[in-house]
Amino acid sequence: MKKFSTFLIVFVFMLAGGIFTACDENEQYSISYEQSEAYSVSLNQITACEGDSIFVNIKINEGLTIEKVLANNTECSKVKEGVYTFSMPAENVKIKVNVKTRGLEVKKITLYDEITGVMQNVDSFQPCIITNLDEGLAMPKYILQSGSYALTIDIVSTLNKNNYIMSMSTQQEGVDIVLVNNFIPKVDGNMGFASKIIAEITIDTNITLDLSSITIKFTTN
């Protein structure tokens, strides 16, 4: 028993001194990351063997959200908010963090003609991220003839402080706008929440409507 205890103490001492390693020094690879003013990164280790689990802690600046984290060209798995992990490959790794501005990302606007049954994208609209909700959303120049339309605005929200309500109006006479869905919920963390804003637009006979004349505002709910 005494010999076994002595061996155990020596074994633990050797482990603490780093004599036993998971792999040979020549089989260890380095881990680095891109520097940025938008975020800071900390790692649980800066060298590793193939197959080791590496954890990446990321702290981003206010107003930004993490889109994805890459170890070389492989996307890391999210463990929890601000913590990502990957399995070490048999090569040096450089970590890249893709961030984007927190706000309302308006992806596209589509129109469904309820008379002809034709759906089309509003190609004159350029996708954008709204960071100042007081400015609302500027609609593109796009002429609609008389008729009935279902207008859909695809939005991804990364705002996590409030729920939002969209309002839509126009000064154009002979045009009626009814919002079917105008609720944009707040989100938890950095994951975006996709919403579809849907409005029914009816345009009287012999009247045309330019979408750019529509005023869109956001209010907290």
CA dihedral 150, 153, 159, 164 (to 10 degrees): -30
Distance (Å, whole) CA 60 – CA 37: 9
- Which residues make Cβ contacts (< 8 Å) with residue 187, sequence separation at least 6? 157, 158, 159, 160, 193
Q: Write out the chain's pLDDT in tens, 221 residues.
A: 544 444 444 344 334 434 334 577 778 999 999 999 999 999 999 999 999 999 999 999 988 889 899 999 999 999 998 999 999 999 999 999 999 888 999 999 999 999 999 999 999 999 999 988 988 999 999 999 999 999 999 999 988 788 999 999 999 999 999 999 999 998 876 667 899 999 999 999 999 999 999 999 999 98
Distance (Å, whole) CA 92 – CA 90: 7
| Cβ atoms < 10 Å from Cβ of 22 | 11
User: Structurally, how many domains does the chain consist of?
Assistant: 2
Verify that 97 and 121 share a domain, yes or no.
Answer: no
pTM above 0.75, yes or no: no
Verify that 47 and 139 share a domain, yes or no.
Answer: no
Beta strands 147-157 and 193-203 are antiparallel
Verify that 214 and 111 share a domain, yes or no.
Answer: yes
> Looking at the DSSP assignment, which residues form a beta bridge with residue 164?
184, 220
State the pLDDT at residue 121.
94
CA 22-24-30 angle, to 5 degrees, is 85
Verify that 80 and 40 share a domain, yes or no.
Answer: yes
Verify that 113 and 157 share a domain, yes or no.
Answer: yes
State the pLDDT at residue 190.
64
Mapping DSSP to helix (H, G, I), strand (E, B) and coil, where does residue 25 land? Answer: helix
State the pLDDT at residue 22.
59
CA 199-156-158 angle, to 5 degrees, is 130
> Which of 101, 130, 160 finishes a domain?
101
> Which of 76, 101, 126 finishes a domain?
101
Question: Which of 214, 182, 216 shows the shortest CA–CA distance to 201?
Answer: 214
User: Does the residue 9 lie in any domain?
Assistant: no
User: Does the residue 90 lie in any domain?
Assistant: yes
Verify that 119 and 209 share a domain, yes or no.
Answer: yes
> Which of 101, 131, 158 finishes a domain?
101
Verify that 94 and 163 share a domain, yes or no.
Answer: no
Verify that 122 and 196 share a domain, yes or no.
Answer: yes
Residues spanned by the domain of 190: 104-220
